[in-house]
Amino acid sequence: MSKISVLGAGTWGTALAIELANKGQQVTLWSAVEREIAALAADRTHVTNLPGATLPASIRLTTDLADACDDEEILVCAVASPYVRETAAKMKKYVHEGQIIVNVSKGIEEKTLLTMTQIIGEEIPGARLAVLSGPSHAEEVSRNIPTAVVVGAEDPEVAKIVQEAFFADMFRVYTSDDVLGIELGGSLKNVIALAAGMVDGLEYGDNTKAALMTRGIAEISRLGAKMGGKESTFYGLSGIGDLIVTCTSNHSRNHNAGFLIGQGKTTEEALAEVGQVVEGVNCAKAALALGKKYKVCLPIVEEINDVLFHGESVRDSVMDLLRRNPTEEYQGTKR
């Protein structure tokens, strides 16, 4: 049995806490939001945004960050990406040298263009870091539906420890040393998922979405490889796997926001209706900036930024993509 704290009681953090507790781990679930912890404590059978899930009685709930970090073997950072740096900065004084932190948040910080694990490493340099990602909707993980993910760590011992902590009959965990590639795949696919939702909102059909997803993973892999990620990573669980599930599922906040925009709503209206953090919107500008920095052509990302932030219609954006000059399908990392 391992002592594990999950920091962040949103849907993903709560789902992972349930998965770990069901395996028999000693789990603490922390949130800075008192009403979240109060709601979970009041009724463990009606978990917000996780229908059908039950929070095991063994999970300890707290709003005390020092208490959550103290003497834990593994800390799981599951706060939404806009709050990762702030949370990591607050955690720093409670984290001991060599403590393992597993990042499960997906995103790229707009100002610095750092991934979430890079941010945690910058704020807490003494920690041993890992990232866990893959096609894993919280709604399904919380109901013990078969799922496979990948954990990445530069230190193979850390990857193995995290793999063993999370691995269960219905939660298969692979390992990798490509931390950057895993994070880029998990973050950039949210931008493509917005586009997939827009395609569905326009009722364009399966042909269009299949083309979008295929060309989307081409953009992700071009940029990721140029930045130093392994191209094979983007065709694995944290790349194409996560892209498929996020582009096709009604569980996906990114797809749902894109769908509303495709139906004619503004970005602000769509975000208000979804009512939760839509990571693809937060990541879109950073993705565009990375493309410019590394001189990688990202036409889908460019069009999504025009739709989200510059008022371009989705139909016009689609036509912009279709009318691009013809070229070879596969160009590796060259363009």
Which residues carry out catalysis? 189
Inter-axis angle of helices 116-123 and 179-201, nearest 10: 140
What secondary structure letter does DSSP report for 215? H
Inter-axis angle of helices 206-227 and 279-293, nearest 10: 50
Instruction: Note whether 20 and 27 are within 8 A (CB).
Output: yes
Instruction: Give the side-chain half-sphere CA count within 13 A for 300.
Output: 25
The H helix count followed by the E strand count for the chain is 15, 8
Q: Name residues whose C-beta falls within 8 Å of residue 269's C-beta, 6 or more positions apart in sequence.
A: 260
Expressed in angstroms, the distance from the first to the final Cα of the chain is 48
Burial of 130 from C-beta contacts in 10 A (0-12 / 13-18 / 19+): buried
Instruction: Note whether 303 and 199 are within 8 A (CB).
Output: no
